[in-house]
Amino acid sequence: MSETIIERSRLSSFVAAVFVKAGVPEDEAALIAESLTEADLTGVESHGVSRVPIYLKRIELGIVNAVAKLDIVADLPGALVLDGCNSMGIVTGVRAMDMAIDKAETSGSVFVTVRNSNHFGTAAFFTQRALARGMIGYAGSNAPSTMAPWGGIKPYMGTNPFSIAFPAGKEQPIVMDMATSVVAQGKIILAGKEGKPIPFGWAISKEGDPTDDPKTALEGTVLPFGGPKGYAVSLMLDVLSGVLSGAAFGPYLCNMWNDFKNPQNVGHYFTVLDVKKFLPLDEFKQKMDTMIRDIKTSPRAKGVEEIFLPGELEYRKREKRLAEGIPLGQKTFSDLAEIGARMNIHFS
Amino acid sequence: MSETIIERSRLSSFVAAVFVKAGVPEDEAALIAESLTEADLTGVESHGVSRVPIYLKRIELGIVNAVAKLDIVADLPGALVLDGCNSMGIVTGVRAMDMAIDKAETSGSVFVTVRNSNHFGTAAFFTQRALARGMIGYAGSNAPSTMAPWGGIKPYMGTNPFSIAFPAGKEQPIVMDMATSVVAQGKIILAGKEGKPIPFGWAISKEGDPTDDPKTALEGTVLPFGGPKGYAVSLMLDVLSGVLSGAAFGPYLCNMWNDFKNPQNVGHYFTVLDVKKFLPLDEFKQKMDTMIRDIKTSPRAKGVEEIFLPGELEYRKREKRLAEGIPLGQKTFSDLAEIGARMNIHFS
């Protein structure tokens, strides 16, 4: 499969220009471009610029508002209840997170729900915003139904992802970001786009049989990580993101990929914890460094070359791709080139 | 294996009397007895009255304080920072949770950390206290190191459990409670006590080999649920329960079962969300009922007779055991009988 290598800054400028042309304000387009290229930098191609065509299509069709608006439904001492007003999820998520970060300075902890939102990209994009302020960031979302309850064959929950980011001292922060399925559905979608098979164990067909075909998998149901426990975690995320926020939940949430009439009504929740309210920030950071170093030097199983902290592989890939450029798959590249040609924005 | 059937109320009275005799105030002994017998009622025998001997031993040795004390280190608009003063974890957990429930009425959301605590029994015992008030309860804890980081063979994290309880309307509430290992280590300890093998896949030996022997498993490392994802979740629980609270973390946390000189310094965290601050409570309950009914009637895979919500199997077992009595394994029964004889408290 041929790949095209492109610098992050050039890719980001192009993506921002595309969304500006579609009516998105410049600062908001910059956030969307930053989130998508950050995903590509860290190797999460499923949530990278391969999403430009679908995001753009929904804005152009008017199913997602080009100009973001975020309403405060309730402002409580330890919580915020927000309405995303059907804006771009990435922009809404950043604004919700930043409000929570400011508020946590006083409250110690802030829990935020967001209703009426859309797909918000990678969750880690939000949680890492808390790190520079010495805070812990948490983000979770629901997603269109693609995963059956444990024992079932018909999708009900989404692959409902979550991320948490912990500041460290001299070591890299710990940043976890995971779907509650064995893998993110985006990886199956991308495999389908790129014409590649998927490993058995990621999903089952609609009859409940194992499959390595992305198309059959997308018609069937993806599997939760860790069996019944992952099913429970996914359900938890759906209740907190969907039911509690007042957004849609389960199969009532509209599918970004094939419903072009209705807003998605995705729900999110965020939590920010201001570390220094719980213990001195330096003490926290030193202990995190101890934990990280302990784990890095822990005895390894046969055949294991290195033990990783959550987010470490992504960090390394990011450094490499910042230096060497981002490789784009053929389909993603041609999609972007086509959009560039249509919108008269230079790309390559 | 012979079993003895005993009524919940009789078992509970006996356990409370044991702890009162050991110097625990009556109301605190009642909470300990309630938590342990509740675990047995719901089929979580690993966290039931089989724990009486070890809890009692630590109180009698003076490594755990018989009379509970809970200090408020900081009281913030959205958070509480607490010090458990080396009291019984069950009592500390209930008091921390009840403080959070009261505070959530104003704050909407409260996040609580507890340092200097001890093993707190089942997490679901705390989270369910929020249900009657129309609130969502969350509880997490760290635990002595028994689980290696992914790719490793030497235990670092504990099987760090968490629970969340969601109120419903006419349906039973959803109550999830899980260890972040494939199974709770308590189940391996109990299998060892009762002389039963464990399934392969629960743990590996200290050389990294598969095992079905509880003793070999306890010398080795238990495995996280869902592989690297469960490892990440366990780590998250250790940072929030251990590092952020100012308690011990990883292998620095003392083992309840074999360290009889030092306090454990377990850490916990709790979250309470007051549903009515986010949306009308009736609307939330109706949506939960819809979700529960949808899942119960969802199409099933071949060979699956019923799809369960988290907590449903435990609820059914509880109903059955309330009616028919609690079956105690031979070792647990003889341990309790011995304690009864020694303390001159009638048991049988």
From-to residues of CATH 3.30.60.50 in chain B: 182-223
Q: CATH fold of B3-181+224-280+324-343, please?
A: Ribosomal Protein S8; Chain: A, domain 1 (3.30.1370)
Cβ proximity of A183 and A202 under 8 Å:
yes
> Does pLDDT of B44 surpass 70?
yes
Mean pLDDT across B24-30: 98
What pLDDT does A1 receive? 54
Distance CA A37, CA A15 (A): 9
* Predicted confidence (pLDDT) per residue in A301-340, tens digit: 989 999 999 999 999 999 999 999 999 999 999 999 999 9
* Predicted confidence (pLDDT) per residue in B190-247, tens digit: 899 889 999 998 999 998 888 999 999 999 999 999 999 999 999 999 999 999 999 9
Across the interface, whether the CB atoms of A81 and B278 are under 8 A apart is answered: yes
Mutate to test the interface with A, among B80, B103, B225, B243 (most CBs of A within 10 A): B243
What pLDDT does B194 receive? 85
CA distances from B38 to A29, B121, B126, B232 (A): 54, 10, 11, 30
Q: pLDDT under 50 in chain A at which residues? A: none
Across the interface, whether the CB atoms of A166 and B239 are under 8 A apart is answered: yes
**Nearest CA distance, A244 vs chain B (angstrom):** 6
Which chain B residues are closer than 8 Å to A208 by Cβ? 301-302
* Predicted confidence (pLDDT) per residue in B46-94, tens digit: 899 999 999 999 999 999 999 999 999 999 999 999 999 999 999 999 9
ipTM topping 0.90: yes
CATH architecture of structural domain A1-60+325-348: Orthogonal Bundle (1.10)
* Predicted confidence (pLDDT) per residue in B263-294, tens digit: 999 999 999 999 999 999 999 999 999 999 99
CA distances from A274 to A28, A79, A133, A141, B84 (A): 26, 14, 8, 22, 21
Which chain A residues are closer than 8 Å to B227 by Cβ? 225-226
Cβ proximity of A244 and B273 under 8 Å:
yes
Across the interface, whether the CB atoms of B229 and A230 are under 8 A apart is answered: yes
| Nearest Cβ partner for A106 among B77, B225, B251 | B77
Q: Which residues contact B342 (CB under 8 A, 6 or more apart)?
A: none
> Does pLDDT of B186 surpass 90?
no
From-to residues of CATH 3.30.1370.60 in chain B: 3-181+224-280+324-343
A/B interface, count of CB pairs below 8 Å:
226
Across the interface, whether the CB atoms of A208 and B301 are under 8 A apart is answered: yes
| B24 band by pLDDT with thresholds 50, 70 and 90 | very high
**Nearest CA distance, B169 vs chain A (angstrom):** 13
From-to residues of CATH 1.10.1530.10 in chain A: 1-60+325-348
> Does pLDDT of B113 surpass 90?
yes
| B1 band by pLDDT with thresholds 50, 70 and 90 | low
Mutate to test the interface with B, among A275, A277, A284 (most CBs of B within 10 A): A277
**Nearest CA distance, B307 vs chain A (angstrom):** 6
Nearest to B160 by CA among B59, B81, B232, B84: B232
Across the interface, whether the CB atoms of A301 and B245 are under 8 A apart is answered: no
**Nearest CA distance, B243 vs chain A (angstrom):** 6
- The Cα angle at residue A253 between residues A208 and B130, in degrees rounded to 5: 95
CATH architecture of structural domain A68-181+224-297: 2-Layer Sandwich (3.30)
What pLDDT does B5 receive? 97
| Nearest Cβ partner for A151 among B107, B233, B304 | B304
What tokens appear for B72 in the block?
């408020």
> Does pLDDT of B130 surpass 80?
yes
Say which CATH superfamily domain B182-223 falls into.
Hypothetical oxidoreductase yiak; domain 3 (3.30.60.50)
